[in-house]
Amino acid sequence: MKKVSTDHLDRIVQFIRTKGNGDVSLGDVVALAEVTVESLSSFFRSIDMSVYRELSDIASFITNMKVEVGRLQPNDLKHSRIPAAGMELDAIVKATEKATDTIMGAAEELMAADASDPVAYKAMVDERMMLIFEACSFQDITGQRVAKVIDTLKHIEMRVTRFADAINAADADGYLSEDERRREERKIKNILHGPQLDGEGVDQNDVDALFAKPEKKGKDAATAK
Amino acid sequence: MAVDLSMPILVVDDYNTMIRIIRNLLKQLGFDDIDDASDGSAALAKMKEKKYGLVISDWNMEPMTGYELLKEVRADGSLSRTPFIMVTAESKTENVIAAKKAGVNNYIVKPFNAQTLKAKIDAVFAD
C-alpha cells in the first residue's frame, strides 16, 4: 500500500506553522481543507486498489473452492453412493450369516444323526450335503457386492485426494466429535487393532513361544494357575 | 492334572456363530456344561452367579472387551483363580504380552481348529 505523499504533508505542516500564532480566517480553513484533501486523495486511491485486489483474490478463491466442492460431488456421496455401499455391506453380513447358519445347521444334524439304518443315513447325508453346497453359493454374490463397495471407496478416494490437492489441505489434529474421540481412546486403552492382515500379526506358533517364556514376577503377573 | 469334562465352561463372544462353533468343538471334546455371554459385562454377571471351571473369551466386544473382563476377573478375589483362555483375531505381539501380563492362561489366534483348542485347554490344566 502506498504511503501518504510526504510533500503534501509538508505543505499541511508548513501551513499550520505559518498560521499557528495568528488569527485564522475562513479562507485559511478552506485552504487547509484543500491541501489536506489533495494530500490524502492519493492515499485513499491506493487503499481502494489494495482492498479491491484483496477482495478480488478472495472472490476468486471462493469461486474455485465452489468448483472443487462441486467436483467432490458431496450430495451424490452422501445421499446415494455411501448409503448404497452401506446397504451392500448389510446384505453381505446377512448373506454370510444365513449361509453360515445353514451350513452349521446341516453339520450339527449330521453329527447328531442316527447311523443305525445305513440307507436312511446315506439319504440324510446326501440331502444335508446338497444344502451345504447350495449355501456356499453365497460366496459368488457377496464377491460381487464387495466389488461394488470397493468401487465406491475408490470413487471417494479419487475425489477426496483431488480436493485435498486442489486446496492444498494439511491434516488437522484432533477429533471431529466427542463420539469419535471416545471411540479412538477406547481402541488405544483396549489395544484394539485387529483383525490383522496376513503378515501383520503373529501366528499361533509365535504366541506359543511368547507363552513359553517365563513371566516376570510382579504385581501384574498372572495369578491363576 | 486331568481335565474335568463335567466342569462348567463360559464362552464369551459377540458373534453367535463363533459361540456356536466353540460350543460344538467343546461338545466334541466331551464337555457338556457350556454357557455363553455376548460381552464382558454379561460374562462377569454370569460368573458372579455360577462358578465356572474355564472361561473362553473373545477380545473385541462391546461394551466390555475380553481384555477388560480378564482384568476384572483377576482383580476380583472370588473369581481371580478362574482359568481364562483368550480366543481372538487380535494377533499383535502387544496384545499377547498385555494379555499375559493381565493374567491370561493361554491365547488362541483366530481362525483356529479343534486341535489347537484342545491343546490349549490341556495346557492350562497341566500347569
Q: Write the CA distances from A129 to A110, A115, A125, A141, integer angstroms.
A: 9, 16, 6, 20
- B122 has pLDDT over 60: yes
**pLDDT for the residue numbered A222:** 42
Greatest distance between any 2 Cα atoms in chain B: 35
Q: Which residue has the higher pLDDT, A195 or A217?
A: A195
- The residues on B that touch A, with CB distances below 8 Å, are 17, 20-21, 24, 28, 59-60, 65, 67-68, 74, 80-84, 88-98, 100-110, 112, 116, 127
Provide the shortest C-alpha distance from residue A178 to chain B (in Å): 17
A28-37, A154-163, B51-60: which has the minimum mean pLDDT?
A: A28-37
- Coil, strand or helix at B60: coil
Looking at chain A, the whole-number percentage of residues with pLDDT higher than 70 is: 90
Instruction: Provide CB contacts within 8 A for A160, sequence distance 6+.
Output: A72
pLDDT in tens, A63-90: 888 888 888 888 999 999 999 999 999 9
ipTM above 0.85, yes or no: yes
**pLDDT for the residue numbered B79:** 97
Pair B83, B124: CB distance under 8 Å: yes
Residues from chain A contacting residue B101 (CB–CB below 8 Å): 215, 220-222
pLDDT in tens, A114-172: 999 999 999 999 999 999 999 999 989 999 999 999 999 999 999 999 888 888 888 88
- A31 has pLDDT over 90: no
User: What is the overall mean pLDDT for chain B?
Assistant: 95
Interface contact A201-B91, CB threshold 8 A:
yes
User: What is the overall mean pLDDT for chain A?
Assistant: 85
| CA nearest to B17, candidates A110, A146, A92, A105 | A105
Looking at chain A, the whole-number percentage of residues with pLDDT higher than 90 is: 48
Provide the shortest C-alpha distance from residue A152 to chain B (in Å): 27
Q: Kindly state the cell numbers that stand for B79.
A: 473369581
- Enter the pTM of the model: 0.76
A214 at the B interface (CB within 8 A)?
no
**pLDDT for the residue numbered A225:** 35
Pair B29, B121: CB distance under 8 Å: yes
Please tell me which residue of chain A has the smallest CA distance to B84.
Answer: A224
**pLDDT for the residue numbered A21:** 65
> How do the domains of chain B map onto residue ranges?
9-106
Pair B22, B13: CB distance under 8 Å: yes
**pLDDT for the residue numbered A113:** 94
Q: Kindly state the cell numbers that stand for A129.
A: 450335503
Helix (H) or strand (E) segment spanning residue A185? helix A178-189
Question: Which whole number is the average pLDDT over B32-55?
Answer: 97
A159-173, B46-60, B101-115: which has the minimum mean pLDDT?
A: A159-173
**pLDDT for the residue numbered A20:** 65
Distance CA(B43)–CA(B59), nearest Å, equals 13
Q: Write the CA distances from B39 to A33, A67, A81, integer angstroms.
A: 85, 48, 33
Interface contact A196-B89, CB threshold 8 A:
yes
CATH 3.40.50.2300 for domain B9-106, yes or no, is: yes
Interface contact B97-A202, CB threshold 8 A:
no
Q: Kindly state the cell numbers that stand for A62.
A: 471462493
